[in-house]
Structure 1
Amino acid sequence: MMTRSPTYTVPSTSKNLQLQFTTRLSLPIFTGSKVEGEGTLSIALVDTLTREVVVMGKESLLKVEIVVLEGDFEDGEGNDWIAQEFNTNIVRERQGKQPLLSGDVFVGLDRGIGRVGDVSFTELDMQPKVQVN
């Protein structure tokens, strides 16, 4: 007769994380002009439960891509998209045309914070958002 050892289940430690600009964007943003903020433009990875910047762990060292999203965010909608919704609404380079964003679109996080470099839109009516890669 064989005995089975008990199965142990480790509770999920998944986190609800959100990337946020830490400085306000200088609006309006014009085509061909550098995206700037009121001070140094940077982003932070924040735990949505504690509202604290994630300063430790592999998440605090992520590489982030700034992308263009299709959508109207004036009323705050679109803040709680699941990954599939977010990815579906990314506007990529159109065939035969220049990229919608130019410059340093990748930002490395260090202790959960990253400085946004020179980024500019090549077309009007685009809003900046970020995505974790």
Structure 2
Amino acid sequence: MSALNLVKSNLQIRSWWLNAILIFCTFMTFIYMPWDIFIKPLAEDQEVWFGYMFTDWGAKITAFPHWMIYGAGMYGLWAMKSWLHPWAALYIFQIAFSMFLWSFLSGDNTGLMAGAAISVMFLFLAYKFWTSKSVFKN
């Protein structure tokens, strides 16, 4: 089976929104995170964890766990691993919490409204993951 046929057949085993997350995790694993860690200037680097923004070396160091999370997400979605189900939902919930907390701590009402709206979208995505346990069988 050719690589293209393998990818096509694999993309047919999950819903469109899980495929979108798989593609996003693949991009983050192989393109963005290596660039972010190894090429992006230190002065421009930022990583957010639990609503707190790390910069400079703190951002470089905390980028490695992000890289591992995206890689695990990519592999877990590609193979539809059962261990991904609870952890992906919890991680996405943490993103929703972090987005709201970060926007709240910024002190800007416009940012707070945008953060709340984005948080609601991530909460919906976390809910979708949480209720999709049956598709993670391997």
TM-score where L is the length of structure 1: 0.23
By relative contact order (CA 8 Å, sep 6+), the higher-ranking structure is: 1
Greater share of helix residues, 1 or 2? 2
Greater share of strand residues, 1 or 2? 1
